[in-house]
A = this chain, B = another copy of it.
Amino acid sequence: MASLFICGCDVLRLNGGEPQIALQQDIEIRGSKIAAIGSDLPLPADAQMQVIEGQGLLAIPGLMNTHAHVPMVLFRGMVEDVSVQSWFNDYVFPLESNLTPEDVYWGALLGMAEMIENGVTSVADHYFFMDEVARAVETSGMRANLAWAVFGHQGEAQLDETCRFVERWQGKADGRITTWLGPHAPYTTGPDFLKLSAVRAKNLGVGIHIHVSETAEQVALSLQEHGITPVKMLAETGVLDVPAILGHCLYPTDEDVQILSRVSAGVAHAPKTYLKLGMGEIKLQRLLDAGVPVGLATDGAGSSNTLDILEQLRIMALVQKHAYQDPTTMPVGEALQIAFEGSAQVLQMGDSLGALAPGRFADIALLRQDGMHVFPRFDPAANLVYSSRGADVDTVICNGELLMQNRKLLTIDKEQVKKEISARLHRLSQRTPGKRIAVYPA
């Protein structure tokens, strides 16, 4: 059993929305879990114990990305400044039709390298060729909730394929992999397919990761075609009878929020994408007041260009103040609660992630605090939300294993990843007229 001992780092504690920094703490890690945190812990007499100098570093819970399409980093910068319809139909869906399983593997590794460098230890990924993403999780050492996205037009046989993926990979990679089902969205599946998905999820004992109510148009279309909102369709088809990650959910009605408050579903919030695609905004207090968990997400780099959760954290807090035209909205502590406690709840791991405490998984990011941009350290929690950046992350631990130390990745060969992807870029950037994985409704 691997063991780590972090000496003398500062530790972020949330204390119910009143963040505090505990100075000069030691963190003892045994296997995958935090064993103890305190000042001047005795260094265990254990030959296998690896000591990490934490002086000058701030320990935070490993950041969580609750909704991503990790391999889309392959398309970073390829689709800019177009409408949502064009983004899907002219670019992303045609580009994705080029992807092979091997492309997805290397794309997933690129995205995981970026996430680890940004202090992200967990990701809920929603894509296809997910065996390859699972293999990348094995390699990278991250923790992941993986769902194989499926469209209604792909039919029940493909849904069954995604069920077999769930069975193949559940609990693998030392327990770091959780597998769920991933019907794409109500508007791309329809109620019958959602019912089938819900039955399958119940039988498998897993949750469902799905996009819902991303735009006002989607809600209007659902009301017109089905007489109910997309969220209500999830409820009526049984999807919300299992744990659920709801990607975006920017346009829930008040009734939708009430529905969500009674089930085991959380909302994955990716504000950079919403700004960039002009999708509008949600006043998050509506969800928080109803007790609906909200977590941070990056969405895919095709829209958000990065897989950087600190960036999304900052944008979330800024946009909420803007949405309410009130600078007292979403204070620092509340933003951090969403980033840590909320994201852990969305991943259905509220008891094991999102805080640094004995018994929790040893998923930890250690941030340098010596940058001029985070000086003075009058309020390190405010610095974390408004001044820090991913490049401040020095060391990353997941499941008790070191993934990065002194900014050097230990599990991923960056040059190999770049070389593999470079050789594929020309093919990946082609678009064949009429060839696309799905069609976004106009």
Which residues 12-45 of A have a CB within 8 angstroms of B?
A: none
Q: Are A110 and B78 in contact (CB under 8 A)?
A: no
Residues 285-309 of chain A, each 1 if its beta carbon lies under 8 Å from chain B, else 0: 0000000000000000100111110
Q: Given the interface contacts A280-B325, A318-B276, does A373 sit within 8 Å of B390 by beta carbon?
A: yes
Binary contact readout A164-199 vs B (1 if CB under 8 angstroms, 0 otherwise): 000000000000000000000000000000000000
A316: min CB distance to chain B, Å: 11
Tally chain A residues at the interface, Cβ within 8 Å: 71
Copies in the complex: 2
Do residues A379 and B77 form an inter-chain contact, with CB atoms below 8 A? yes
Q: Is the CB of B429 within 8 A of A272?
A: no
Cα distance A329–B277 in the bound complex, in angstroms: 10
Cβ contacts under 8 Å, A82 to chain B: 327-328
In the complex, the chain B residue whose C-beta lies closest to that of A321 is B278
A276 touches B80 (CB 8 A): no
- Knowing A76-B375, A80-B332 are in contact, say whether A318-B389 is a contact too (CB < 8 A): no
A24 shortest CB reach to chain B, Å: 17
Q: Is the CB of A83 within 8 A of B328?
A: yes
**A376 touching B421 in the complex, CB below 8 Å, given contacts A77-B382, A277-B327, A322-B278:** yes
**Chain B residues in 8 Å Cβ range of A332:** 80-81
Q: Are B375 and A328 in contact (CB under 8 A)?
A: no
- Given A80-B382, A389-B389, also A281-B376 (CB < 8 A): no
Instruction: Find out whether the CB atom of A425 lies under 8 angstroms from the CB atom of B376.
Output: yes
Q: How far is the CA of A260 from the CA of B198 in the complex (A)?
A: 60
Known: A278-B321, A315-B318. 5 other contacts (CB 8 A): A77-B376, A77-B379, A83-B328, A110-B375, A280-B325
Q: Closest approach, in angstroms, between the C-beta of A415 and any C-beta of chain B?
A: 9
**B80 and A331: CB pair below 8 A?**
yes
- Cβ-based interface call for A113 (8 A): yes
A272-B318, A306-B386, A389-B389 as given contacts; A373 in contact with B277, CB under 8 Å: no
Binary interface profile of A, 410-429, with partner B (CB < 8 Å = 1, else 0)? 00001001100110010001
A414-B318 CB under 8 A given contacts A81-B327, A325-B280: no
For residue A408, give the distance in angstroms from its CB to the closest CB of chain B.
13
Looking at the assembled complex, report how far the CB atom of A425 sits from the nearest CB atom of chain B, in whole angstroms. 6
Q: Which residues of A contact B (CB under 8 A)?
A: 73-78, 80-84, 87, 110, 113-114, 117-118, 272, 274-281, 301, 304-308, 315, 318-319, 321-322, 324-332, 371-380, 382-383, 386-387, 389-392, 414, 417-418, 421-422, 425, 429
Q: For A318, what are the chain B residues with a Cβ–Cβ distance below 8 Å?
A: 272, 275-276, 315
Q: Are A372 and B414 in contact (CB under 8 A)?
A: yes
Cross-chain pairs A/B with CB under 8 angstroms, 6 sampled: A73-B375, A77-B379, A80-B386, A110-B375, A276-B386, A306-B373
Contacts of A80 in B (CB 8 A): 331-332, 379, 382, 386
Is the CB–CB distance between B274 and A322 below 8 Å? yes
Residues in B with CB closer than 8 Å to A279 are: 325
Distance between A322 CB and nearest chain B CB, rounded to angstroms: 4
